[in-house]
Amino acid sequence: MLRGRESDQQAIDVLLDQARTGRSGVLVLKGEPGIGKTALLAYAGERAPDMTVLRGLGIETEADLPYASLHLLLRGRLDRLDALPEPQAVALAGALGLAPTRTDDRFHVGVAVLSLLAELAEERPLLCLVDDAHWLDQASARALRFAAHRLHAEGVVIVFGARDGFDPAGLPERRLAGLDEQSAAQVLADVAPGLTGPARRRILQESAGNPLALRELPRTAVLPAHDRGPLPLPERLRLAYAERIGRLPRSAQTALLVTALVDDGDLDVIMNACAGLGIEPAALGAAERSGLIRIAGRHAAFAHPLMRAAAFQLNTYDLRLKAHAILAGLLIGDPDRRAWHLAAAATGPDETVARALEETAYLSRERGANLSACAAFERAAELSEDPELKGRRLLAAAVDATEEGQSQRAQQLLDAATGLIPDASARATLPTLRARIAFGQGAPRLAHDLLLQGAADVAADDRAAAGLMLVEAARNAQRLGDADGIVAAATRLRGLDLRPQDDLDLARQAALSTALLLTDGPAAALPLMRELVVAGSQITPEMHSRRINAAYFALQTGDFRTAWEIARAAADECRAAGEISKLAVLHITLATSEIFLGRFTDAAATASEGLRLTAETGRPSRAGCMRGMLAWLAAARGDADRCAELAAGSLERYDADGIVNGLAWARWAQALLDLGQGRFAEALDRLDATMAGPVRHQFQAVHFAPDQIEAAARLGVPADAPLRRYEAWAQASGLAWAQAVLHRCRALLEPDGERADESFRAAVRLHANGVRPWESARTALVYGERLRRERNKTAARVQLRAALEIFQRLDARPWAERARSELRAAGDTSLAVADTDASPALSPQELQIVRLAAAGRTNKEIGAQLFLSPKTVSYHLYRAFPKLNVTSRAQLAGLDLA
């Protein structure tokens, strides 16, 4: 019976009851050792007789074995892999070592776990209990967190028990404190009813309400009278376990050691290892009777993780070495565990063991388990006999630590590797890695300087490596809005005598055209950028990075439709292949192009999914841009509170990493909100101030120039600088819609009425291609306002109706209201402009799902594409149907969901 945990039990009961109605839930129980996490997980299991229960465990000695904990959780249920979409089944089988690995995208396994949990919950609700989550290997933790974040309507509950070392990454948490005085006294009375006097008071005081301490401390010998000083509770508990283990026969203590070393508790392996040490099976029986371990079927487990630690520490060093060596011999078919046992048995440099660890490191890297790879490379380096091999392995470990964002660890590994790598090609890796570490530590300027210096150092020996560094330096400077840094990198890149076999032509041209835009302007740069778009469109589909660059330069040239087409194709391929890591950056290009194409609902859906992906894949630097775009969309729709919240988040991200793209969107969003609500002076001041910083070198600066011009025109002040800026780009672009916006800007600033009217008419004519509906509506609105002021109400109504129709379709409420007001002033009393687009009533995710359903996709296919479970897809369709006034999937085909 649990004492003093009524509210925690109630929270668990609520989750279980919700699962029985088809809803999913997650809970992370956090607290110190012995505080009751395991007991509450056991309570959850007891309360779920009508549910399928899976039990997993983080094991300290398995923390470097990729997907070890995930395998423990899912073992016995892997026969359902065939029910998953083929790429997911392959990814999960590869991660668990059941098949060759075909992708190194570490997040695809999380999608597969989500699908498998949903599949297991089809028959009845599913409960997953994961104890000691702070000791999960990082690959398992990442996959489980990814799946947990996307649970919704499957009837799945996941409960984690963890100490503070576990990062819940936004999952719901519940912290367990010590028991209150009355409950603590009841627990102590349950286990030691005869305990009275000073000993009872001492235990109540020392335990601080920790249930495990209350249960274990009375089982020790009488506390020595001289021991008055408080000890850290975990140490006190270890001492208690040491006392209990010390009472066992020596053979039973050895059996406990073997059990502690067999991470998955496989009883056959434990028995064979004991036999190798000359221990009879009866020794395990004595250990079980002590209550320190439990044996069920062919599996043995410690009653508490601290018991495992005590069993390991109490045995002698030589015995531990011998046990590890025997286990390595027994685990020939498990190369990961075998390598680590060999390493634990090594007493000095051993190249054979180092090679085994190196092999398991590469396997871990292939499975996307970079931290496991890092640990294996690092231990292999410690065992290396040759200094050069040691340096190479330390360098490999630093690469994996950097990939996981562990900058401090990567720096230490890199420092240790420096000086041990005589090979020039390997040394060329060092500056790039140092730069990535510096960038990850929030020192982007240092990263840029390291790349420039590194390129200079290696150029004589390795021009290709120098070229790559300079390309990366230019990209780094671009992300920071550092014009001088871009030009410096491009200047050096121009001087490198690169060869065709270096395969850097496109990357070099990208850096040079970006620099040319800054030094010579758009007339010189845009033709080179168009060549990059054409070249990037023709390369093979799997070369995603080059296609991403092509889409980026399509944005730079204003060819938003091509940018969307390239990014959409690449995103679809990444979804099909499960390459989730690349999707977040593709979503930036997709959402940007959708904003400029006037597909605001699509853009909101894309940016919202991208924001989720940045959180789930650990790419916070992209979150600022996603929030900035969502803030811009909120501004266009007049949602001031949402705009302010999102812009603040984007600005906070900029303060953290200095990446300018999100800052540009956020500042533009704030100014657009001001402009839409008639605060022209605030809008102009905000954009003028923005142009004084690094945003002036971003492409957004071109596209918010018309907003600056409109605000200035409303205030009757000059706008020469933004007009020149936009004029240079528009004329170089050669795009009809850009010329249309330029004519509008000139008309707004033109004092002569006849010339202004001529410019407005030219703008309306050029907008007829419909590429930029937002800009077309903006032109029609300001032209209609001018016509009304000139008392040409008939012509004004034509323009204002056109503007109102587009603004309504875009759900741009303040702009639509301005058009209505002008129409009323122009004598139009009908204002019955139909809004036939049903999609604004849907959430972004509902719209994505409805569109795929309308295209004939099944719930399973939709779930695979959007990384959701089929039940969650069904839930969203159920919510969407009433909003669309339909009752079946067949009716979706007749709706306008564009």
Distance of CA 444 to the CA centre of its chain: 21
Q: Does residue 202 share a domain with residue 130?
A: no
Q: Grade residue 104 by pLDDT with cuts at 50, 70 and 90.
A: low
Per this entry, what is the length of the chain?
898
Check residue 221 and give its pLDDT. 45
In a domain, 369, yes or no: no
Q: Are 722 and 853 in the same domain? A: no
Distance (Å, rounded) from C-alpha 665 to C-alpha 55? Answer: 46
- Same domain for 37 and 147, yes or no, is yes
Phi and psi, residue 122, nearest 5°: -65, -40
The reply to whether 41 and 169 lie within a common domain is yes
Residue type, 123: E
Neighbours of 668 (CB within 10 A): 26
- Banded model confidence at residue 228, pLDDT cuts 50, 70, 90: very low
Residues 686, 788: Cα–Cα separation, whole Å = 29
Q: Which of 825, 852, 886 is the last residue of a domain?
A: 825
Q: Are residues 634 and 744 in the same domain?
A: yes
Q: Pairing between strand 299-302 and 293-296?
A: antiparallel
Question: Is residue 592 in a domain?
Answer: no
- Bridge partners of 64, per DSSP, are none
Q: Are 533 and 559 in contact (CB under 8 A)?
A: yes
Task: Work out the widest C-alpha separation in the chain, in whole angstroms.
Answer: 106
647: in domain: yes
- Residue 314 identity (one-letter amino acid): L
Q: Other C-beta atoms within 10 Å of 782: how many?
A: 23
719 shares its domain with 674: yes
With a pLDDT cut of 90, the percent of the chain lying above it is 60
Read off the CATH number of the domain in which 160 is found: 3.40.50.300
Q: Is 7 exposed, middle or buried (0-12, 13-18, 19+ CB in 10 A)?
A: exposed
Q: Of the candidates 666, 633, 631, which has an alpha carbon nearest to the alpha carbon of residue 652? A: 666
CATH number for the domain that contains residue 889: 1.10.10.10
Q: Clarify whether residues 156 and 188 are in a common domain.
A: no
Query: CA dist 95 to 66, 375, 680, 785, 864, Å?
Result: 8, 18, 57, 63, 18
What pLDDT score was predicted for residue 66?
Answer: 92
User: pLDDT for 690-749, tens place per residue?
Assistant: 999 999 999 999 999 999 999 999 999 999 999 999 999 999 999 999 999 999 999 999
What range does the domain containing 692 cover? 606-825
User: 818 and 749: one domain?
Assistant: yes
Residue 423 scores a pLDDT above 90:
no
In a domain, 462, yes or no: no
Which residues are CB-neighbours of 552 under 8 A, at least 6 positions away? 563, 589
**717 shares a domain with 610:** yes
Packing angle, helices 505-519 and 483-495, rounded to 10: 130
What is the three-class DSSP state of 157?
A: strand
Residue 26 domain flag: yes
Looking at every residue in the chain, the average pLDDT score rounds to 89
Specify whether 163 is located in the same domain as 48: yes
In a domain, 92, yes or no: yes
Report yes or no: 15 and 129 within 8 Å, Cβ to Cβ.
no
For 629-639, what is the mean pLDDT?
97
Write the burial class of residue 52 (CB in 10 Å: 0-12 exposed, 13-18 middle, 19+ buried). middle
Contacts of residue 320, defined as CB under 8 A and 6 or more positions apart, other chains included, come to 257, 261, 312, 344
Domain boundary among 213, 230, 247: 230
Query: In a 3-state reduction of DSSP, which class is residue 330?
Result: helix
> pTM, whole model, 2 decimals?
0.86
**Per-residue model confidence (pLDDT) at position 840:** 52
Asked, for residue 308, whether it belongs to a domain, the answer is no
- Where residue 125 falls (left for φ over 0; alpha for ψ -120 to 50; beta otherwise) is beta
Classify residue 391: in a domain, yes or no: no
d(CA 491, CA 488): 5
Read off the tokens for 210: 């920790």
Tally the domains of the chain. 4
| DSSP label at residue 888 | S
Give 334-366 pLDDT, tens digit per residue.
899 999 999 999 999 999 999 999 999 999 988
CB count in 10 Å sphere of residue 80 = 14
Where b means 16+ CB within 10 Å and e means fewer, 679-697 reads: ebebbbebbbebbeebbeb
Q: Are residues 122 and 195 in the same domain?
A: no
In this structure, how many other beta carbons lie within 10 angstroms of the beta carbon of residue 597? 19
More reliable by pLDDT, 667 or 502:
667
Q: Are residues 34 and 157 in the same domain?
A: yes
Tens-place pLDDT, residues 385-405? 999 999 999 999 999 998 888
Residue 634, domain CATH:
1.25.40.10
- Tell me: pLDDT of 47 over 60: yes
